[in-house]
Amino acid sequence: MKVLITTSSFGKNNTEPLELMKNNGLEYIINPFGRKLTEEELIDLINEHKPEYLIAGTEKITSKALDIMKPYVKMISRCGVGMDGIDLEYAKKINLPITNTPDAPTMPVAELTLGVILNLLRKISFADKSIRNGEFEKPMGSLLNKKTIGLIGCGRIATHLAKLLQPFECEIIGFDPYISTHNLISLKSFDEVIKNADIVSLHIPYTPENKYIINIDVLKKMKKNALLLNISRGGLVNENDLIYALENNIINGAGIDCFEQEPYKGELINFNNVLLTSHIGSYASEARLKQELDSIKNILEVL
Which active-site residues does the annotation give?
A: 233, 262, 279
Q: Which DSSP symbol is given to 75?
A: E
* pLDDT tens, residue order, the chain (303 aa): 999 999 988 999 899 999 999 999 999 999 999 999 999 999 999 999 999 999 999 899 999 999 999 999 999 999 988 888 899 999 999 999 999 998 888 999 999 999 999 999 999 999 999 999 999 999 999 999 999 999 999 999 999 999 999 999 999 999 999 999 999 999 999 999 999 999 999 999 999 999 999 999 999 999 999 999 999 999 999 999 999 999 999 999 999 999 999 899 999 999 999 999 999 998 899 999 999 999 999 999 988
Alpha-carbon span 170 to 162, nearest angstrom: 9
150 and 198 inside one domain: yes
> Read out DSSP for 233-293?
-TTSB-HHHHHHHHHTTSSSEEEE---SSSS--SGGGG-TTEEE--S-TT--HHHHHHHHH
Domain of 9: which CATH number? 3.40.50.720
Total domain count for the chain? 2
**Phi then psi dihedrals of residue 102, to 5 deg:** -70, -20
59 and 94 inside one domain: yes
Q: Which domain holds residue 123?
A: 106-276
**Phi then psi dihedrals of residue 214, to 5 deg:** -105, 110
170 and 272 inside one domain: yes
User: pTM (2 decimals)?
Assistant: 0.87
111 and 99 inside one domain: no
Alpha-carbon span 280 to 287, nearest angstrom: 11
84 and 180 inside one domain: no
Angle (CA) 12-13-14 rounded to 5° is: 95
Which residues in 2-13 are b (16+ Cβ under 10 Å) and which e? ebbbbbbebbee
